[in-house]
Structure formats: C-alpha cells, structure tokens
A and B are shown apart, each in its own frame.
Chain A
Amino acid sequence: SQQGEEDPQALSIQEGENATMNCSYKTSINNLQWYRQNSGRGLVHLILIRSNEREKHSGRLRVTLDTSKKSSSLLITASRAADTASYFCATDERYGKLTFGQGTILTVHP
C-alpha cells in the first residue's frame, strides 16, 4: 500500500514560476524524504526532513512538514526546464523501509 500520496498528479508551469507539490501520509513517521526521477532514470534523493523539523531548505528547494496534518510540501522556486521530472515523497513506514507515493509529474516549459 502507498503511504504517501502526492498532489497534484501532474503540474505544468512556465520557466521561472514556482512549483508546489504536496504529500500526505497516514501513519507516524521519523522522517520524510523527497526524490526526483528523470525519465528513464533512477530516483535521486533531494532532501530529508525529520519529524521534529518544520521546514528545510536546499538551494531552490523548500520543504515543509506538518506532522499534525500528516502532510508535507515541496516548493521549487524559479523553476527551470531541467526541473522537468517526476517527484516522489517517501516515508519511513517502519525500521529499514521506505514507502513511496505515486509521484507528481512536473513539466516546466521553456
């Protein structure tokens, strides 16, 4: 079963705009991670936020976590065509195991 559910399923924006993706989960977590997958490639880790953190930044990425609402958001600022990819959230369902959502497909038009 999928722990995380991303919203929206697909997002299409123009270069320079911001992109926001959301993730909801069901059970308590220790951390939540975001990954990116370019077409035909493996997943690449973007950022990890722990359950006692509310916000984290990495370059143009900003992740928030609201454990009371069991939700997280990933914001990509000043998007570029190279940001076109699928984005997945992953939660640690239990020790040693991550559960991935279905992903958000982001298309950034030049």
Chain B
Amino acid sequence: DAGVIQSPRHEVTEMGQEVTLRCKPISGHDYLFWYRQTMMRGLELLIYFNNNVPIDDSGMPEDRFSAKMPNASFSTLKIQPSEPRDSAVYFCASSTLRGQETQYFGPGTRLLVL
C-alpha cells in the first residue's frame, strides 16, 4: 500500500494567490483528516470527513479555507486568498472504522506564503 499521498510536497506562493492542496487517502479508509502544524500552535485539526461527508469543520480558521471530498479517494484543501500567516505544514491523515483509532499521516505539504 502506498500510504496517504499528498501533493504538492512544497508550495511557495505570493499573498493573495489561491492555493490547492491535494490528498489521496489509503484505500478503504472512510475517515479523512486535514491538519495544520506550526511552531506556535502545534498540530491543529482543521476538518475531517467520514464517508466523504464533512463532519466537523470547526477548526477551519476562516472562510478563506475550504475543503472538499468529491469521492473516497480524493480530497482538496483550498486557501483563497492566501496570506503569510497561512504558512505552515499541512497534513492529511486517514483512518478506518472509528476516527479515534490509528491515523495514518501523509508526508505533508510545506506551504510558504510570501
């Protein structure tokens, strides 16, 4: 199994640009999570899906952030417009059965907004 796949691995963009991060969960996993990691705030849960349906988006910082999961094998996290404070590492994770069980993390996307 390839594990959770994220793209791109690195993204450098200018303030105001749209950024789209992509994730492919492990096949058969019905929970998908988006996290953001910064030195100041640690690892924060942004949103999670169960069977492609958003369950909890209370961690999404602002309306500039949106996430979709059109099918069981693909999810996107979009930031529009991006700001320098969005610079962070964004992780996607997936799990099976119940969301509190083991989560499998992707390698992350390192985003830098100039």
Chain A residues with CB under 8 Å of chain B are 2, 30-31, 33, 35, 41-45, 48, 88, 92, 95-103
Contact = CB atoms under 8 A, between A and B. Distances in A.
B56 interface: yes
A103 B44 CA distance: 13
Contact of A95 (B45, B98, B106, B107): B98
From DSSP, what is the main secondary structure of chain A's interface residues?
strand
B101 interface: yes
A58 B56 CA distance: 32
B104 interface: yes
Contacts of B102: 33, 45, 48
Contact of A42 (B45, B55, B91): B91
A96 B103 contact: no
Given A96-B48, A96-B55, A99-B45, A45 B31 contact: no
B75 interface: no
Given A42-B106, A42-B108, A43-B105, A98 B100 contact: yes
